[in-house]
A and B are shown apart, each in its own frame.
Chain A
């Protein structure tokens, strides 16, 4: 028990690395905010673009979505980070993490939203148009709100999964929370920084999980 607390819950070790860990936590939050914003926007844009029914564009979107859903995000990051330099293009780890994880979220958002959009009944579209709303007004005030409500539970799960995936950025040398904790663990020969990082992740993610649980609860039948 003594060894457990000195190796896993050692406050002295945590304290000496606390500034690094907090800086890492900040990077994790920054990464998450950028990725969530870009991913959701691009995903929504793709779903709307797919409504234009342009065959070539749709094929392109479907292939993008499928490929990104089929490949492990870590594989995508490694290909982007270590592969692009062969084209003479060298991106920072932060940029790679943002691009890859935002693409993954965009793909899942498109897939879900497209299913949601096709579930909103045609009458809703027709009614909105007949009251004189433009296409964008119709989507923004009538159709998208209903579609998002339909997919809120799976979308919330995706948002959580994306935030968790920011830990993968440690593999491409982004100094986020896991990476800082791992470095601190290596220097101190003590697992306590990892315990602190675990707590950090739970502080960020548990509230999200609890909100998601609320969204999943089946609504009373109307």
Chain B
């Protein structure tokens, strides 16, 4: 038992590696703060382009979305990280991660926004246009506010997934939380840093999981 505590819940070790874990946490938060808003913005833009009902544009977005739904983000990240230098582009780990995960995340957000916008009955658009609102105004004041409410569970669950995905950055040696924990575990020959990092993830993400599943259940039962 004391062996177990010594190897997994060692406060002495935790004290030693805490600064390293905190730095890692900061990088994880910073990555999330760049990737989530960028993914949201690009995803929304794609969905808006799709709603223009221009055939070529629509299909371009569909291909983009399906491609990134099918392509593992880790493969994309490694491709970007090891591939770009062949173009003579100096790859910084941070921006490789942002690029790869941003592409992946924006495709998922685009799909959520598209479904949300298409879920609003066309009568709403016609009514808005009949009162003299322009196409953009209709989208901004009539369609999106209603759509967002329906999309909330899916949006939140995508935010959750995007934050979890930032852990992939550890593979290209960006010292975010997971990578920091691995380094600390190697240095101390002790599993405590790994447990500590898991608990930090839990502290941030468990509330989001609870919220997401409550909202998801509400929409599923509300459908009938």
Chain-A contact segment, one of B46-54, B132-140, B190-198: B190-198
Q: Which residues of B contact A79 (CB under 8 A)?
A: 191, 194-195, 198
Give A154's nearest chain B residue, CB to CB. B216
A202 to B67, CA, bound (A): 8
Q: Is B224 an interface residue (CB 8 A)?
A: yes
Q: Is A3 an interface residue (CB 8 A)?
A: yes
State whether A167 touches B66 (Cβ < 8 A): no
Q: Is A152 an interface residue (CB 8 A)?
A: no
Give B186's nearest chain A residue, CB to CB. A82
A201 to B221, CA, bound (A): 35
A210 to B67, CA, bound (A): 10
Give A204's nearest chain B residue, CB to CB. B70
Q: Is A74 an interface residue (CB 8 A)?
A: yes
Consensus secondary structure, chain B interface: helix
State whether B202 touches A71 (Cβ < 8 A): yes
Q: How many residues on chain A are close to B (CB under 8 Å)? A: 56
Q: Which residues of A contact B72 (CB under 8 A)?
A: 164-167, 178, 201, 205
Q: Which residues of B contact A70 (CB under 8 A)?
A: 160, 201-202, 205-206, 208-209
Q: Is A8 an interface residue (CB 8 A)?
A: yes
State whether A74 touches B75 (Cβ < 8 A): no
A206 to B65, CA, bound (A): 11
Q: Total number of A-B contacts with CB less than 8 angstroms? A: 143
Q: Which residues of A contact B20 (CB under 8 A)?
A: none
Knowing A87-B4, A201-B70, A202-B71, the reply to whether A82 touches B191 (Cβ < 8 A) is: yes
State whether B190 touches A74 (Cβ < 8 A): no
Q: What's the nearest-Cβ distance from chain A to residue B132, in Å?
A: 31
Q: Which residues of A contact B223 (CB under 8 A)?
A: 119
State whether B190 touches A201 (Cβ < 8 A): no
Q: Is A197 an interface residue (CB 8 A)?
A: yes
Give B7's nearest chain A residue, CB to CB. A86
A191 to B78, CA, bound (A): 10
Q: List B147-164 residues whose CB lies under 8 Å from chain A.
A: 160-161, 164
Q: Is A95 an interface residue (CB 8 A)?
A: no
State whether A209 touches B178 (Cβ < 8 A): no
Q: Is B37 an interface residue (CB 8 A)?
A: no
Q: Is A133 an interface residue (CB 8 A)?
A: no
Knowing A194-B82, A198-B79, the reply to whether A72 touches B165 (Cβ < 8 A) is: yes
State whether A116 touches B71 (Cβ < 8 A): no
Consensus secondary structure, chain A interface: helix
Q: What's the nearest-Cβ distance from chain A to residue B71, in Å?
A: 6
Q: Is B185 an interface residue (CB 8 A)?
A: yes
Give A71's nearest chain B residue, CB to CB. B201
Q: Which residues of A contact B198 (CB under 8 A)?
A: 71, 75-76, 79
State whether A78 touches B86 (Cβ < 8 A): no
Which residue from A82, A150, A213 sits with its C-beta under 8 Å from B66?
A: A213
Q: Which residues of A contact B115 (CB under 8 A)?
A: 216
Give B73's nearest chain A residue, CB to CB. A164
Give A208's nearest chain B residue, CB to CB. B70
Q: Which residues of B contact A86 (CB under 8 A)?
A: 7-8, 190-191
Knowing A8-B86, A74-B168, A209-B69, the reply to whether A116 touches B220 (Cβ < 8 A) is: yes
Knowing A83-B191, A86-B8, the reply to whether A206 touches B70 (Cβ < 8 A) is: yes
Q: Is A160 an interface residue (CB 8 A)?
A: yes
Q: Is B146 an interface residue (CB 8 A)?
A: no
State whether B201 touches A75 (Cβ < 8 A): yes
Using a CB–CB cutoff of 8 Å, the interface residues on chain B facing chain A are 4, 7-8, 66-67, 69-75, 78-79, 82-83, 86-87, 115, 160-161, 164-168, 170-171, 178, 181-182, 185, 190-191, 194-195, 197-198, 201-202, 205-206, 208-210, 213, 216-217, 220-221, 223-224
Other CB < 8 Å A-B pairs besides A66-B210, A202-B70, 17 of them? A3-B86, A69-B213, A71-B164, A74-B167, A74-B178, A79-B191, A115-B216, A119-B220, A161-B161, A178-B74, A185-B82, A194-B82, A194-B83, A201-B75, A202-B67, A205-B72, A206-B70
Q: Which 5 A-B pairs have the closest CB atoms?
A: A72-B167, A205-B70, A72-B164, A164-B72, A70-B205
